[in-house]
């Protein structure tokens, strides 16, 4: 096994050589390319054959993964060691979806009894709300849930609800995250407080935005139901029982989680209680089972046939080998339309680091900018830039093979666009083909000289395709776990800590200073621009 610096040099040399070739030509020279770069895992089909690497590039990427000791880091994570070194914590979101008899330990202490106890309480609460056993203060059953959180306490459950919600839910689920009061006003405008359960998600019960919205929601309930009645419409996800009690949440309606669960990995926990209630426990359990299936694959499969490892290595090949600093994720599924937003937090908060755990600068570029939206909408927006812009942006295109939703024939149209775009990005369109078409239409030579370059597509844009057999709780769980483990592998290779987020804190601290200045106090010490803006806004 090569040392890490040698492995990096080999990857960079291989990427330079591969970047001078065309992806479509790799298929002619590599008869085993499809079998080497496609795999089926937990209801997902992955095709990385349209990526920018050739055989030598793939070998170099795998050599880099071995040199970085991805296998050892993987064992330390599943073993519950303190791989979040800056905070001295284990990282065990995998335990949240494991069966009750699994043997997970955090820093040597068994955790599954506690995990299962919370899951049992969650199921009992979800079943009781859905059955009407738990009612509101006026005796009406709950027909809506207002979920209040931000960041990982919002993005994961919101995506989960979009992906798995029933067509006609018996319990509606609404989300509020933004501290902008317009979101609260618009979200609650047609909700009935007598039939609404408010679930507040904040581990410490101190998050500024969440508490602002929670206080607004409580006042909204109190106005309709009185103080004691409002308390019957509250539940919380938190570890701060003193603060939740002071807020009026009964202790039996507070559900905790652990410091070895980061916010962006918390959708497997009680943070998604609102979804478990609105969708039903069987749906949530299926989601957990899908994540566990991907965990088992990631934990046991060799690196060359390991889905999260290969998806991570494709990104590293593009990011570090070819200096491509952005990536687009496009789900051809309306239900997955928020996936890119979720991945922005998962990947950019995890790996948006320029300093490693040793306090030294990262030796190479780390997280890419992630952006995206749903196909086919983006074909009429930024795909023009993707096809013919001056920069090459790698992509992940995600589809669902079978769907029974919507009018007949619609899903086939959606899939045809997915496959066509992937092919078009790789193959492009040669100038001679454009010229021949224009000549056949009788266009003059002078016009052809001007038009043909504009209608030429260079192609050679890399993409990975991920196709779910069906969008079920299980396959969706596997998809999210795939991206979690991909993010972890990248952090290991880049030599950064993927599980802290110190960059999130600075803006919060400064906002805490500015708020009282905007409300009533004198303006403090700031840069000239900020001082001028504070004074202007106070007027």
Could you report the per-residue pLDDT of 358-389, keeping only the tens digit for each? 999 999 999 999 999 999 999 999 999 999 99
Catalytic residue among 347, 349, 396, 517: 349
Residue 437 lies in a domain: no
| Residue at 453 is within a domain | no
- Confirm whether 332 is domain-assigned: yes
Domain encompassing residue 508: 503-538
Give the C-alpha distances (Å, rounded to integers) separating 391 from 18, 319, 340, 360, 461: 17, 13, 20, 31, 10
Do 250 and 303 belong to one domain? no
Residues 157, 237, single domain; the answer is yes
Q: In terms of C-beta density within 10 A (0-12 exposed, 13-18 middle, 19 or more buried), how is residue 457 classed?
A: middle
Q: Give the residue among 10, 66, 52, 81 at the shortest CA–CA distance from 302.
A: 66
CATH of the domain at 308: 3.40.50.10490
Query: Which residue in 63, 51, 44, 61 sits closest to 2, CA to CA?
Result: 63
Look up 508 and say whether it is catalytic. Answer: yes
Residue with tokens 């680091």: 353
From 168, 380, 441, 539, the catalytic residue = 380
Same domain membership, residue 242 and residue 387:
no
Q: Residue 15 and residue 12: Cα distance in Å, rounded?
A: 5
Question: How many other CB atoms are there within 10 angstroms of residue 13's CB atom?
Answer: 14
The tokens describing 357, both together, are 């755990």
- 211 and 116 part of one domain: yes
Rounded mean pLDDT, 436-465: 96
Q: E strands, 353-512, where?
A: 369-371, 395-402, 463-470
Q: At how many degrees (to 10) do helices 70-78 and 55-67 cross?
A: 50
pLDDT at 522 over 90: no
pLDDT at residue 524, rounded to an integer: 87
**Once rounded to an integer, what is the mean pLDDT over residues 256-260?**
94
Average pLDDT over every residue of 273-288: 98
Q: Do 70 and 161 share a domain, yes or no?
A: no
Please check the confidence at residue 505 and state whether its pLDDT lies above 90: no
Q: Is the pLDDT of residue 428 over 80?
A: yes
Active-site residue, 402 included? no
Co-location of 421 and 393 in the same domain: yes
3-state secondary structure of 471: coil
Last residue of a domain, one of 257, 280, 301: 257
Cβ atoms of residues 314 and 464 within 8 Å: yes
pTM: 0.96
Mean pLDDT for 527-535 is 93
pLDDT number for residue 1: 56
Query: Does residue 305 sit in the same domain as residue 405?
Result: yes
Residue 270 lies in a domain: no
Contact 23, 460 (CB under 8 A): yes
Q: Which residue, 233, 257, 281, sits at the end of a domain?
A: 257
Domains held by the chain: number: 3
- As a whole number, mean pLDDT of residues 11-22 equals 97
Angle CA 276–279–280, to nearest 5: 65
307 shares its domain with 353: yes
Do residues 228 and 348 both lie within one domain?
no
Whether residue 300 is contained in a domain is answered as yes
Please indicate, yes or no, if residue 238 is contained in any of the structural domains: yes
| CB-count exposure of residue 47 (10 Å: 0-12, 13-18, 19+) | middle
- Structural domain contains residue 416: yes
Token pair recorded at residue 406: 């919507």
Considering the domain architecture, whether residues 63 and 152 belong to the same structural domain is answered as no
Q: How much is the pLDDT for 511?
A: 87
Does the pLDDT at position 264 exceed 60?
yes
Same structural domain, 230 and 300: no
Do 11 and 62 belong to one domain?
A: yes
Grade residue 294 by pLDDT with cuts at 50, 70 and 90: very high
Residue 2 confidence (pLDDT)? 73
Provide, rounded to the nearest whole percent, the portion of the chain with pLDDT above 70.
100
Question: What is the average per-residue pLDDT within 1-15?
Answer: 93
Which of the four pLDDT bands, split at 50, 70 and 90, describes residue 285? very high
**Is-catalytic flag, 413?**
no
**Rounded to whole angstroms, how far apart are CA atoms 366 and 256?**
33
Quick check: is 450 in a domain?
no
């Amino acid at each position: 096994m090569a040392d890490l610096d040698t492995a990096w040099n080999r990857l960079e040399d291989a990427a330079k050589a591969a970047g001078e070739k065309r992806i479509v030509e790799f298929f002619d020279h590599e008869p085993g390319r499809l079998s080497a770069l496609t795999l089926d895992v937990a209801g997902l089909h992955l095709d990385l054959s349209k990526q920018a690497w050739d055989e030598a590039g793939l070998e170099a990427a795998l050599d880099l993964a071995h040199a970085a000791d991805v296998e050892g880091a993987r064992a330390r994570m599943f073993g519950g060691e303190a791989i979040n070194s800056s905070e001295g914590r284990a990282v065990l979101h995998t335990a949240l979806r494991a069966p009750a008899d699994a043997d997970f330990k955090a820093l040597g202490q068994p955790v599954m009894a506690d995990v299962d106890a919370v899951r049992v309480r969650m199921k009992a609460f979800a079943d009781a709300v859905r059955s009407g056993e738990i009612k509101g203060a006026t005796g009406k059953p709950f027909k809506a849930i207002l979920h209040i959180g931000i960041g990982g306490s919002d993005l994961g459950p919101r995506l989960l609800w979009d992906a798995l919600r029933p067509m006609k839910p018996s319990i509606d689920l609404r989300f509020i995250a933004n501290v902008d009061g317009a979101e609260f006003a618009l979200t609650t405008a047609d909700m009935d407080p007598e039939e609404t359960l408010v679930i507040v998600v904040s581990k410490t019960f101190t998050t500024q935005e969440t508490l602002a919205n929670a206080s607004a929601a409580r006042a909204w309930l109190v106005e309709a139901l009185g103080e004691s009645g409002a308390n019957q419409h509250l539940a919380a996800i938190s570890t701060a029982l003193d603060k939740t009690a002071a807020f009026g949440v009964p202790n039996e309606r507070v559900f905790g989680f652990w410091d070895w669960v980061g916010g962006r990995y918390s959708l497997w926990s009680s943070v998604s209680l609102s979804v478990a209630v609105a969708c039903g426990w069987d749906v949530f359990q299926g989601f957990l089972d899908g994540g566990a299936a991907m965990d088992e694959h990631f934990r046991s499969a060799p690196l060359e046939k390991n889905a999260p490892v290969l998806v991570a290595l494709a990104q590293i090949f593009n990011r570090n080998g070819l200096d491509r600093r952005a990536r687009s994720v496009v789900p051809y599924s309306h239900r997955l339309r928020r996936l890119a937003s979720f991945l922005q937090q998962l990947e950019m908060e995890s790996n948006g680091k320029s300093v490693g755990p040793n306090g030294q600068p990262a030796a190479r570029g780390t997280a890419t900018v992630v952006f995206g939206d749903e196909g086919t909408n983006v074909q009429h927006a930024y795909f023009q830039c993707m096809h013919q812009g001056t920069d090459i942006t790698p992509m992940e295109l995600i589809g669902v093979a079978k769907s029974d939703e919507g009018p007949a024939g619609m899903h086939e149209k959606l899939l045809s666009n997915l496959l066509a775009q992937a092919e078009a990005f790789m193959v492009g369109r040669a100038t001679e083909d454009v010229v021949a078409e224009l000549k056949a239409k009788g266009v003059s030579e002078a016009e052809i000289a001007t038009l043909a370059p504009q209608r030429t597509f260079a192609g050679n844009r890399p993409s990975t395709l991920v196709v779910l057999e069906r969008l079920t709780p299980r396959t969706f769980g596997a998809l999210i776990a795939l991206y979690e483990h991909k993010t972890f592998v990248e952090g290991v290779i880049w030599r950064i800590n993927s599980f802290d987020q110190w960059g999130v804190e600075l803006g919060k601290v400064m906002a805490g200073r500015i708020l009282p200045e905007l409300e009533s106090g004198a303006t403090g010490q700031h840069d000239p621009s900020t001082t001028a803006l504070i004074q202007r806004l106070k007027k």
